[in-house]
């Protein structure tokens, strides 16, 4: 058994750059300037007792209704991961050892990530195994994003697999007003595994080189190999002159590999995760409002949004994709409800692009709503509109509710104070209160990437039902 070590200044520096250091890039890209300063630490210091207790409760709620004690060795998803590992063992490499030491120092980090990732782990593992890929790839989103679907790097990489826009488009991930496929767990996982398979073939089965290329680009790695060939030096990952970020990227994953393979050796606890489906992909057969889908499935809207972070608006995109992730035990209810749903009940709001020559009266008549309703829901002071802009159009039923004026649950804007709890992020608080991260940050003079402190007070402006703080 390896004894835990004190990290000193190295551990502090590593804590700063443990998160968001990687992103999937097809074209070559320069290493991020000031990468260490740009990266946000998840655990810059050991968690307090209150934070640790919160994390334990989050894990307990997130992973299963079963008690951890009920899980046998074969029932634990981590045991399945161990059986499918196929990357080289590099636990004795100095860079890998340093990241193992970081996890020993901040052992609560993996608990927090496991709680966040738990709904998705079984699904992603199944997809990895179906392609015959090494199961260590399940750990790659920990390195990329800490399994934060809303994570966004300074280079605009997004989602748990951290695709930059150009690479996302290359692998079929749509990004528009309605939807960003890079944040879609299902779509981005398919794209990431496609890309990783391609890279592994390009580098003839050498996974450290393939992973380095996922981070830095194929050209960057290929040129580093060519330089070493000309100089008569070894061409394996460990001997290449790569960007600093990439030099640390692969060791982070291989440190996690070593810990998952033998957690007792390194004294890092792994929260058991039941090896059973938690989510399932369902076909919505067309556009549908998320609130309607949540009602059909019998889940709350927050749960549906957490499982489907790729959707930017209140509904799925009109032109697709027409799929959602749902809790596995709610799929049957959803299908039953969907089969009985009239087409007019699927979406109560639409988005209209103003064409040249149109006016509010013509648009209102087309959608069977009043001009006053269009002005109110789009916050228009007058009747002047511009071609190319967009209007939100309520269904006639919603239009009548708007015309009737404020009701309980649709009150004028109010301001409330929210006290940050351990484990809160701007994204979680914004989603819980039905506001955007950008607005929440603006109201509180924060950056959208700021880390919240337990006890911190946030101002939230809401026009819906009162929220408990």
Write down all domains in the chain, each with its CATH number in brackets.
8-167+186-266 (1.10.530.10), 279-345 (no CATH), 350-394 (3.10.350.10), 414-462 (3.10.350.10)
Q: Are 208 and 236 in contact (CB under 8 A)?
A: yes
Average pLDDT, the chain: 81
By three-state DSSP, how is residue 179 classified? strand
* DSSP H stretches of helix in 384-435: 396-403, 426-433
Q: Are 180 and 312 in contact (CB under 8 A)?
A: yes
On the question of pLDDT at 466 being above 90, the answer is: no
**Tens digits of residue pLDDT in 364-417:** 888 888 888 888 777 788 889 999 998 888 775 454 444 444 433 333 346 678
State how far the Cα of 112 lies from the Cα of 115, in Å rounded to an integer. Answer: 5
Q: What pLDDT is recorded for position 26?
A: 47
State how far the Cα of 39 lies from the Cα of 16, in Å rounded to an integer. Answer: 6
State how far the Cα of 93 lies from the Cα of 118, in Å rounded to an integer. Answer: 30
**Tens digits of residue pLDDT in 59-81:** 444 444 443 344 455 689 999 99
Strands 457-462 and 414-419: antiparallel
**Of 98, 123, 117, nearest to 190 (Cα)?**
123
Q: What pLDDT is recorded for position 441?
A: 82
This prediction's pTM = 0.71
Tokens of 194: 């496609």
Mean pLDDT of 310-334: 93
State how far the Cα of 385 lies from the Cα of 410, in Å rounded to an integer. Answer: 26
By three-state DSSP, how is residue 391 classified? strand
Peptide bond into 235 cis (omega under 30): no
Q: What pLDDT is recorded for position 32?
A: 29
State how far the Cα of 61 lies from the Cα of 55, in Å rounded to an integer. Answer: 10
Q: What pLDDT is recorded for position 462?
A: 65
Q: What pLDDT is recorded for position 406?
A: 41
State how far the Cα of 162 lies from the Cα of 145, in Å rounded to an integer. Answer: 7
**Tens digits of residue pLDDT in 111-146:** 999 999 999 999 999 999 999 999 999 999 999 999
Q: Residue 279 belongs to what H/E stretch? A: strand 279-283
Tokens of 241: 């002159």
Among the listed residues 58, 144, 245, 289, the single catalytic one is 144
**Tens digits of residue pLDDT in 252-302:** 999 999 999 999 999 999 999 999 999 999 999 999 999 999 999 999 998
Mean pLDDT of 432-453: 78
State how far the Cα of 419 lies from the Cα of 150, in Å rounded to an integer. Answer: 22
Which of 31-45, 87-101, 118-132 shows the lowest mean pLDDT across its residues?
A: 31-45
On the question of pLDDT at 193 being above 70, the answer is: yes
Q: Are 275 and 80 in contact (CB under 8 A)?
A: yes
State how far the Cα of 97 lies from the Cα of 143, in Å rounded to an integer. Answer: 16
End-to-end CA distance of the chain: 45
**Of 184, 179, 220, nearest to 202 (Cα)?**
220
Instruction: Give the contacts of 442 (CB within 8 A, at least 6 positions apart).
Output: none
Instruction: Give the contacts of 197 (CB within 8 A, at least 6 positions apart).
Output: 131, 133
Half-sphere exposure of residue 12: CA atoms within 13 angstroms, side-chain side:
2
On the question of pLDDT at 48 being above 60, the answer is: no
Our answer to whether residue 204 is catalytic in this structure is no
On the question of pLDDT at 239 being above 90, the answer is: yes
């Amino acid at each position: 058994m390896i004894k835990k070590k004190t990290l000193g200044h190295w551990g502090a520096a590593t804590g700063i750059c443990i998160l968001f250091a990687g992103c999937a890039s097809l074209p070559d890209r320069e290493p991020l300037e000031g990468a260490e300063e740009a990266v946000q630490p998840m655990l810059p210091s050991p968690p307090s007792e209150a934070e640790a207790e919160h994390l334990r409760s989050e894990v307990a709620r997130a992973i299963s209704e079963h008690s951890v004690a009920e899980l046998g060795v074969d029932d634990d998803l981590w045991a399945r991961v161990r059986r499918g590992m196929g990357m080289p063992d590099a636990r004795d490499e100095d860079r890998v050892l340093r990241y193992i030491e970081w996890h020993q120092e901040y052992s609560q980090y993996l608990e927090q990530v496991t709680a966040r990732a738990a709904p998705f782990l079984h699904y992603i593992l199944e997809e990895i195994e179906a392609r015959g890929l090494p199961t260590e790839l399940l750990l790659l989103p920990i390195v990329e994003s800490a399994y934060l679907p809303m994570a966004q790097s300074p280079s605009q990489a997004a989602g748990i697999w951290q695709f930059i826009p150009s690479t996302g488009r290359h692998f079929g991930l749509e990004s528009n007003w309605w939807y960003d496929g890079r944040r879609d767990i299902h779509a981005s996982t398919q794209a990431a595994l496609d890309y990783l398979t391609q890279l592994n073939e390009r580098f003839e089965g050498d996974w450290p080189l393939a992973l380095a290329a996922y981070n830095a680009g194929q050209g960057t790695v290929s040129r580093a190999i060519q330089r070493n060939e000309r100089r008569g030096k070894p061409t394996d990952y460990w001997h290449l002159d790569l960007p600093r970020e990439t030099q640390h990227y692969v060791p982070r994953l291989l440190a996690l590999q070593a810990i998952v393979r033998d957690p007792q050796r390194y004294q890092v606890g792994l929260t058991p995760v039941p090896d059973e489906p938690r989510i399932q992909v369902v076909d919505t057969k067309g556009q549908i409002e998320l609130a309607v889908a949540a009602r059909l499935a019998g889940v709350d809207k927050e749960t549906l949004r957490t499982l489907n972070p790729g959707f930017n608006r209140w509904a799925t995109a009109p032109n697709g994709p027409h799929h959602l992730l749902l809790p596995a035990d709610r799929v049957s209810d959803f299908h039953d409800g969907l089969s009985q749903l009239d087409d007019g009940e699927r979406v109560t709001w639409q988005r209209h692009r103003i064409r040249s020559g149109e006016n509010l009266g013509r648009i209102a008549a087309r959608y069977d709503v009043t001009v006053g309703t269009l002005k109110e829901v789009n916050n228009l002071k007058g009747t002047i509109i511009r071609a190319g802009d967009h209007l939100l159009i309520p269904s006639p039923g919603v239009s009548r509710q708007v015309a009737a004026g404020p009701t309980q649950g649709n009150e004028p804007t109010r301001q409330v104070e929210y006290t940050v709890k351990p484990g809160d992020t701007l994204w979680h608080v914004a989603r819980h209160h039905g506001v955007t991260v950008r607005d929440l940050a603006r109201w509180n003079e924060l950056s959208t990437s700021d880390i919240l402190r337990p006890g911190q007070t946030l101002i939230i402006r809401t026009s819906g039902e009162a929220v408990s703080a």
